[in-house]
Amino acid sequence: MTIGGVRLLTTTVILALTGGWGAPTAPAAAQASSVSFTSVVPAPVVTAPASGFTHQITATTTIYTEPGSPAAAQIAGQLAALLRRSTGYTLPVVEAPSTTPTDGIALLLSGAPPAAGSEGYQLDVSAASIAVRANQPAGLFAGVQTLRQLLPPAAESATAQPGPWEIAAGHILDYPRFSHRGAMLDVARHFLPVPVVERYIDEIALYKVNRLHLHLSDDQGWRIAVNSWPNLAVYGGSTQVGGGTGGYYTQDEYRQIVAYAAARYVMIIPEIDMPGHTNAALASYADLNCDGVAPKLYTGTRVGFSSLCVSKELTYTFLDQVLGEIAGLTPGAYLHIGGDEASSTTATDYSTFMNRAQQIVAAHGKTVVGWHDVVHAPALPSTVAQYWGTTTADAAVATAAQNGTKIIMSPANRAYLDMKYNSRTKLGQRWAGFIDVQDAYGWDPGAYLSGVGETSVLGVEAPLWTETIQSLADVEYMAFPRLPAIAELGWSPASTHDWTSFNQRLGAQGPRWRVMGINYYHSTQVSWPTGA
């Protein structure tokens, strides 16, 4: 069988491969695994299970890596660390010999088909061996996340468990639909410390999310140290919604987050919202205000009342210095400049401001991302617009897309993780409507917005605003199980989009989340198995 010109292994061929990567051998007698290829989220492009065969990870299992690849060694080290604590096995990590190993687990940057691209992988599981093959390290990491989901949930345990550690045999070929598969975390309304952000990175990476958009500034708080404007963090970061001490990341802490994410193939996209949502900055420096008078710090939740002073040249010096420092700390390609809900800025001033802000970002070597309001100002050809509306038609966004602007799809009534599940949900908001899991899953990013075809869609992103969110437990409760739904829309082919199938696969994640200690919402729409 062929898909996209790539020849795929049939079940018959997979059965022949169950003896390992070398010549076929008789399958080992093994009990059928309780986790199947139909448990994986996001759904892979191609799966060909080899019914009746399993691979056993044992005390003698070795993890092999691509020779001479530090990236492969790092990924292997992550897998080994995870499995050592749950299995109690030593699981040594060694470079693969010159001939392909015929036992253990091999993580190889060779042998994957071209169709896998830079983020895809091929996974083959036989009775004797496991091979994850990719063209680039990001694909190898993605393949390991699938491998984790094929293991029993107890493999995620922080303490040694009895096993057995079985993996169903078969073949997977997998690669993403969209290049941008994001989550957004608002750390401005309520500050979330580094360990919370790192934990969230771990959780989203398991579902092949490769972007974390950090909303670093808003009316209620400024969350990153800027050496040229120190009061932004020291004073502007000193509170949050409802009061409290707030907080901010030092530049070293921000670098730590960036490095932690990069090791999990997640790109950090920092956002400094402008020209509105800027009260924390305006309160920190009186000169940024048109009248030279600093407003008080703000701890409420209203929007649209603040604006940088468009007519002051100091404003653009401020942008150049602030965005320059953040660009220097951020190896990723993008800087997000917000641009939404600028009700206190006239249309003319908004256009003037956003034009200059985009030029400043470009001068620092980054690509602009803005909320879709940015299409109402002249946009650079490279500028990306993030759609957050609640309708399926927006003429200005459609026109921008037809003129070449790429769109990130984050419709608030589908993708906003801070919306309540239902009227009984204690956390969250309801202005965009209730969003249960089926609502989060039941749309197609490539055919959702009228006049915006799939080729104009860069990808999807699930924002989590934190007006009511104060802790890791709150973040997890609102993100799970909806975040994996958005992740699947970004990764899996449209042809796999099926609620009945997804419901079963999502439910299978429940026991895993319980072992991982994720505080997820037990939606009544999901078929949770025993142990969830």
Query: With helix as H, strand as E and coil as C, how does 129-179 read?
Result: EEEEECCCHHHHHHHHHHHHHHCCHHHHCCCCCCCCEEEEEEEEEECCCCC
Which of 413, 410, 415 shows the shortest CA–CA distance to 433? 413
* Pair 409, 419: CB distance under 8 Å: no
CA distance 166 to 181: 30
Encoded tokens for 419 = 């919306």
Residues 6+ apart with CB under 8 A from 447: 453, 454
* Pair 144, 130: CB distance under 8 Å: no
Four-point Cα dihedral 153, 156, 161, 165, nearest 10: 60
DSSP 64: E
Residues 6+ apart with CB under 8 A from 248: 191, 221, 222, 223, 224, 225, 233, 234, 237
Mutual orientation of helices 251-262 and 194-205 as an angle, nearest 10°?
10
CA distance 454 to 211: 19
Cα 325 from chain centroid?
Answer: 24
Helix (H, G, I), strand (E, B) or coil at 211: strand
H helix runs in 206-303, sequence order: 231-234, 251-262, 279-284
Amino acid (1-letter code) at residue 304: G
CA distance 190 to 176: 33
- Give catalytic status of residue 341 as yes or no: yes
Rg (CA), the chain: 24
Residues 6+ apart with CB under 8 A from 306: 219, 276, 277, 278, 279, 282, 295, 298, 344
Phi, psi of 409 (to 5 degrees): -95, 115
Residues 6+ apart with CB under 8 A from 502: 41, 43, 441, 485, 488
Which of 351, 384, 342, 349 shows the shortest CA–CA distance to 366? 384
Amino acid (1-letter code) at residue 461: E
Catalytic residue among 198, 341, 454, 488: 341
Q: Provide the annotated active-site residues.
A: 341
